[in-house]
Amino acid sequence: MGAIHIGHTSLVAIAKSQNDLIICSIFVNPTQFNDPKDLLKYPRPIENDIKMLENAGCDVLFLPSEDEMYEMGETWEHSFGELAARWEGASRPGHFNGVGQIVYKLFDLVQANKAYFGQKDFQQTLVVKKLVKDFNLKTEIVVCPILRESDGLAMSSRNIRLSELERAEAVKIFQVLNDCKSRFLQGESTSAIIQAVEKTLNSIPNVKIEYCAIVNQENLGEWDISLSSKAPVAIIAIQLPSVRLIDNMILE
């Protein structure tokens, strides 16, 4: 959705190592915003975006207008089941329907062999994989690692809206995720880990926890070692006065 940062250009770099032609789309998709104010505030530094993509070696930029992507009064609905109903789906009703709507359109237009998404939006990657499966699309989804600032804050287009104080508080997300991982690998129960994380985050004046959980990687349900072949993932969403941030870490 634009406001390109190094996390985005890392996707271009990975894609270039595996493919001949690299296409990037930039479209601030209105149907995935459940808060109109958030849509209006979303950064759109398009000239800088173009420069960064050129420097990263992107071959084609698809930069459609809203009129090009949507007809007046157009609606679209697809059920992603429980996967889209919990966590981000519960916090942002209708969000994943909007994501599915625009990703389906983009995949249909571009017909890409592979599409590269960042792990930071972990739930979104699962939703997009389900979209591909449900509609028998030919695009392979490649999930790439989270890129972080030097202090550990996950790179995000929304970070530029953080005040100096909020920026100092936001890095605590990475710290508690590392604490989750350490405690989990030492054998502590998931309920005890979450209690410790919530205690830490609740001690920060400007932080409001939306959710914090340790879940399985398959569908983000409650983690159970007997039901999953993969390590669990710790997921967090917090609200600061000026911005909402999400992050995650695989506990392995």
Residue-wise pLDDT for 206-243, tens only, equals 999 999 999 999 999 989 888 788 999 999 999 999 99
In 3D space, the residue among 59, 55, 56 whose CA is nearest the CA of residue 20 turns out to be 59
Domain C-terminal end among 94, 115, 144: 144
pLDDT the model gives residue 225: 81
* Residues of the domain holding 69: 6-144
- Specify if 151 maps to a domain: no
Residue-averaged pLDDT of the chain:
95
pTM of the full predicted structure?
0.93
Encoding tokens for residue 146? 């989270």
CA–CA gap between residue 32 and residue 101 (Å, rounded): 9
pLDDT the model gives residue 226: 81
- Specify if 150 maps to a domain: no
> Quick one: what percent of the chain has pLDDT higher than 70?
100
* Same structural domain, 178 and 62: no
CATH number for 177: 3.30.1300.10
Mean pLDDT of 191-198: 96
Residue 35: band (very low, low, confident or very high) from pLDDT cuts 50, 70, 90: confident
* Same structural domain, 97 and 214: no
Domain C-terminal end among 144, 170, 203: 144
- Specify if 17 maps to a domain: yes
CA–CA gap between residue 237 and residue 124 (Å, rounded): 14
* Same structural domain, 13 and 128: yes
Contacts of 143 by beta carbon, 8 Å cutoff, 6+ apart: 117, 118, 119, 125
* Same structural domain, 15 and 126: yes
Residue 78: band (very low, low, confident or very high) from pLDDT cuts 50, 70, 90: very high
Q: Is the pLDDT of residue 151 over 90?
A: yes
pLDDT the model gives residue 126: 98
Catalytic residues, which ones? Answer: 8
* Same structural domain, 14 and 68: yes
pLDDT tens per residue, range 100-132: 999 999 999 999 999 999 999 999 999 999 999
CA–CA gap between residue 85 and residue 93 (Å, rounded): 8
Domain count, the chain: 2
